[in-house]
Amino acid sequence: MCGIVGYVGPRSAQDVIIGGLRRMEYRGYDSAGIAVVTDSGLAVAKKAGKLANLITELADSPLPPSSHGIGHTRWATHGGPTDGNAHPHASYSGRVAVVHNGIIENFASLRAELEAEGVVFASETDTEVAAQLLGREAEGGAALADAMRTVCGRLEGAFTLVAVDARTPGRIVAARRNSPLVVGVGEGEMFVASDVAAFIEYTREAVELGQDQVVEVTPDGYAVTTFTGEPAPSHPYHIDWDLSAAEKGGYDWFMRKEIFEQPRAVADTLLGRLDAEGNLVLDEIRIDDAELRRVDKIVIVACGTAFYAGLVAKYAIEHWTRVPCEVEIASEFRYRDPIITPTTLVVTISQSGETADTLMAIRHAREQNAKVIAICNTNGATIPRESDAVIYTHAGPEIGVASTKGFTTQIVACYLLGLYLAQVRGTKFGDEIRDLLDELEQIPAKMQQVLDGIDQVAELARRFVGQRSLLFLGRHVGYPVALEGALKLKEISYLHAEGFPAGELKHGPIALVEEGLPIFVVVPPQGRDQLHDKVVSNIQEVRARGALTVVLAEQGDEEARPFADVLIELPHVPTLFQPLVAVIPLQFFACELATLLGHDVDQPRNLAKSVTVE
Q: Convert the pLDDT of each residue in 53-105 to its tens digit.
A: 999 999 999 999 999 999 999 988 888 889 999 999 999 999 999 999 988 98
Residues 499/469, Cβ–Cβ less than 8 Å = no
Helix (H, G, I), strand (E, B) or coil at 440: helix
3-state helix, strand, coil in the chain (%, to 5): 40, 25, 35
Contacts of 231 (CB under 8 A, 6+ apart): 223, 224, 225
- 3 state DSSP class of 482: helix
Same domain, 134 and 39: yes
Q: Tell which residue, 587, 573, 604, has the closest CA to residue 520.
A: 587
DSSP β-ladder status, 371-376 and 3-8: unpaired
Please, are residues 311 and 412 in contact by the beta-carbon 8 Å criterion? Answer: no
- How far is C-alpha 404 from the geometric centre of its chain's CA atoms? 10
Same domain, 272 and 418: yes
Same domain, 259 and 225: no
Phi-psi region of 483 (alpha: psi -120 to 50; beta: other; left: phi over 0): alpha
Q: How far is CA 447 from CA 84, 140, 266, 487, 613, in A?
A: 47, 62, 9, 21, 34
Domain membership flag for residue 489 = yes
One domain, residues 268 and 232: no
* Other beta carbons less than 10 A from residue 53's beta carbon: 17
CA gap 473, 485 in Å, rounded: 10
Tell me whether residue 602 is in a domain.
Answer: no
Evaluate whether residue 263 is within a structural domain.
yes
Cα 227 to chain centroid distance, Å, stands at 28
Whether residues 262 and 140 fall in one domain:
no
By residue count, the chain amounts to 614
Q: How far apart are CA 42 and CA 44, in angstroms?
A: 6
Q: Is residue 609 part of a domain?
A: no
- Report the alpha-carbon distance of residue 103 to residue 118 in Å, rounded: 24
**Domain end point (choices 393, 412, 441):** 441
The HSE-up count of residue 31 (CA atoms within 13 Å, CB side) is 23
**Is there a contact between 216 and 172 (Cβ–Cβ < 8 Å)?**
yes
Can you give the pLDDT at residue 36?
97
Do 7 and 140 lie in one domain? The reply is yes
Contact predicate 29/602, CB 8 Å: no
Q: Is there a cis peptide before residue 338, judged by omega within 30 degrees of 0?
A: no
Quickly list H helices, 426-517. Answer: 430-441, 443-452, 455-463, 478-493
**Which of 400, 416, 441 is at the close of a domain?**
441
- Strand ranges across the sheet with 68-74: 41-48, 31-38, 68-74, 3-8, 190-193, 182-185, 205-208, 235-238
Do 355 and 467 reside in the same domain of the chain? no
Q: Could you tell me if 174 and 162 are in contact, meaning their C-beta atoms sit under 8 angstroms apart?
A: yes
Strands 182-185, 157-165: pairing is unpaired
For the four alpha carbons of 7, 12, 400 and 125, in that order, the dihedral sign comes to positive
Distance between CA atoms of 411 and 272, rounded to whole angstroms? 17
Q: Domain containing 338: what range?
A: 254-441
Residues 50 and 31 in one domain: yes
- Which of 228, 246, 264 finishes a domain? 246
603 lies in some domain: no
Would you say residue 610 lies in a domain? no
Q: What is the rounded distance in angstroms from the CA atom of residue 31 to the CA atom of residue 19?
A: 16
Domain count, the chain: 3
Alpha-carbon radius of gyration of the chain:
25
User: For 443, how many CA atoms within 13 A lie in the half-sphere containing its CB?
Assistant: 33
Same domain, 196 and 107: yes
**210 vs 180: CA distance, rounded Å:** 10
Give 487's contacts (C-beta < 8 A, 6+ positions apart). Answer: 304, 305, 308, 497, 499
Q: Are residues 212 and 264 in the same domain?
A: no
In a domain, 446, yes or no: no
What CATH number has the domain bearing residue 397?
Answer: 3.40.50.10490
Residue 201 falls inside a structural domain: yes
Question: Residue 402's Cα: distance from chain center in Å?
Answer: 9
* Same structural domain, 474 and 400: no
Rounded-to-integer distance, Cα 356 and Cα 577, Å: 30
pLDDT of residue 613: 56
Residues 6+ apart with CB under 8 A from 187: 203
d(CA 461, CA 488): 14
Query: Is 609 annotated in the active site?
Result: yes
pLDDT at 550: 97
CATH code, 97: 3.60.20.10
| Selection from 487, 525, 521 nearest residue 502 by Cα | 521
Which residue ranges in the chain fall short of pLDDT 50?
Answer: none
Q: Is the dihedral of CA 508, 490, 244, 70 positive or negative?
A: negative
Q: Which residues of 237-263 are buried (b: 16+ CB within 10 A; e: fewer)?
A: eebeeeeebbbeeeeebbbbbbbbbbb
In this structure, the answer to whether residues 68 and 167 fall within a common structural domain is yes
DSSP class of 523: P
The per-residue pLDDT for 78 is: 84
Q: Which listed residue (2, 303, 325, 376) is catalytic?
A: 2
Q: In the prediction, which pLDDT does 234 show?
A: 85
The answer to whether residues 54 and 33 touch, using CB atoms and an 8 Å cutoff, is: yes
Active-site residue, selected from the candidate residues 46, 47, 257, 609: 609
